[in-house]
Structure 1
Amino acid sequence: MGVVAPQMKLPKGPFKAYLFDCDGTIVDSMPLHYVAWKRVLAEWNCEFGEQTFYAWGGMPVAEIISTLNVRDGLTMPVEEIAKRKEALYFEILPELKAVPEVLEHIEFSHGHIPFAVVSGSTRDSVTASLDVLRLLDKFETLVCAGDYERSKPDPEPFLIAAKRLGVKPEDCLVFEDTEMGIQAATAAGMASVKILQPWEREKALVVESAID
């Protein structure tokens, strides 16, 4: 049974494994990813609105490019654009910060319960993000784009993580920042915790300040 961090409300356990999405959940990387996307897609005059970007959170990079191609009738070379986008993200990676309440929980619970990352990003991207924040060694396994055939909201990525950790799906707790990820966790038969998006966290801080 894991130890519960005092400032994060979790569903009633006990749980035998914690599965974390990476971007927007562990690391506050979504704004940086969006900057990278905007720069590379501008070269193709491809509009990628912020709401769409966050709604597609958890979707693998190659899948996003293919979907944009279909949506806009474009012929962006998927592999080339994916590499360019990743390279732009790595350029601004030093600006990366952790999501405070999730970082606190990871540090509080590490060693009490096994952790896995379940992400739609590439292994290189996830590894680089976690390495910058010195968190990589806290996770027993990483399930990233390329490790599964069906991405979130399909449950496959989470089920692979549970199998690797040797834990039943119903004994896993998922930490996610997108509805797509929450749907995937639910479909896998797992309990979940919704992490606030950047603007939601800012709004919550404003409300807390007003109350104080």
Structure 2
Amino acid sequence: MTITVHPEAKALIFDLDGTLSNSLPVHLETWKIVAKKYNFDFDPNIIHEMTGRPTIEFAKRIVEQYKVDEQPEILVRMKQQAFWDAAHLLEPIEEVISIVKSYHGKLPMSVGTGASGKSAEVQLKELGIRDYFDFVISADDVQKHKPHPETFVKCAELMGVEPQLCQVFEDGDLGISAAKEAGMFVTDVREHIVYGDWELTANK
């Protein structure tokens, strides 16, 4: 089954990690770098459960779960730097990016992500797709993160389109909940694409 655009959609909003960018394996490996330094075994299910949340919340979860004697902000800096250094390993999710390219210039498009502004820009530029989007709303741009709908509502506002006429493409449960709460059309891209062995491991 191919990914389609809803016939009533007047604007498109895309999550980033796991939707446009097959970044989850890179996130996993860079969290393992942090885990090695602080002597704990990182559980990949944390990524699966918290996809869409800002990195600081991952770090707080890790400090609490693994009793790490470090400030979460320090873990965030280490993790983000490792991720930026590994950006060349990112791969595009072509099934979703084909939608972006097909509708560029036809419908307004934006990215609504739980990643930091810098991480979002690094990924979009590395994948060569930054110029396809009118707006990028990151974790830095909102007060309430997914599953709160603020990220997607802000995208709609900037594009000048009513929320109920926006279609969101997402891979995370939290983001899907946010899009539904905003009253938007929602496409769960996990039903249409194959991520490879990582997804099988993360969902066990």
| TM-score (normalised: structure 2) | 0.89
Q: Measure the CA separation in 2 of the matches of 1:31 and 1:57.
A: 13
- Asked if 1:153 corresponds to 2:141, the answer is no
Summarize deviations over 1:46-101 as a string: whole Å, max 9, x none. Answer: 44311221121011001111122233333422222111111111222112110010
- Asked if 1:78 corresponds to 2:82, the answer is no
Task: Find 2:2's aligned residue among 4, 7, 23.
Answer: 7
* Identical-pair percentage: 28
What letter is aligned with 2:8?
P
Structure 2 partner of 1:117: 111
- 1:174 is paired with a residue whose SS is strand
* 175-184 vs 45-54, greater mean Cα deviation: 45-54
Change (3 A) 1:13 1:199: closer
Q: Measure the CA separation in 2 of the matches of 1:198 and 1:42.
A: 34
Q: Measure the CA separation in 2 of the matches of 1:174 and 1:25.
A: 10
CA RMSD of aligned residues (A): 2.1
Structure 1 partner of 2:20: 26
Structure 2 partner of 1:183: 177
- Asked if 1:98 corresponds to 2:71, the answer is no
Q: Measure the CA separation in 2 of the matches of 1:52 and 1:197.
A: 21
Q: Measure the CA separation in 2 of the matches of 1:28 and 1:101.
A: 11
Per the TM alignment, residue 120 of structure 1 is displaced from its structure 2 partner at its CA by 0.7
- 1:102 is paired with a residue whose SS is helix
The runs of 5 or more residues in structure 1 that have no matched partner are: 1-5, 204-212
Q: Contact 2:9/2:167 (CA < 8 Å) preserved in 1?
A: yes
- 1:130 is paired with a residue whose SS is helix
Q: Measure the CA separation in 1 of the matches of 2:96 and 2:162.
A: 23
Structure 1 partner of 2:130: 136
| TM-score (normalised: structure 1) | 0.86
- Asked if 1:68 corresponds to 2:23, the answer is no
What letter is aligned with 1:69?
V
- 2:186 is paired with a residue whose SS is strand
The runs of 5 or more residues in structure 2 that have no matched partner are: 198-204
Structure 2 partner of 1:171: 165
Q: Contact 2:22/2:195 (CA < 8 Å) preserved in 1?
A: no
Length, aligned pairs only: 197
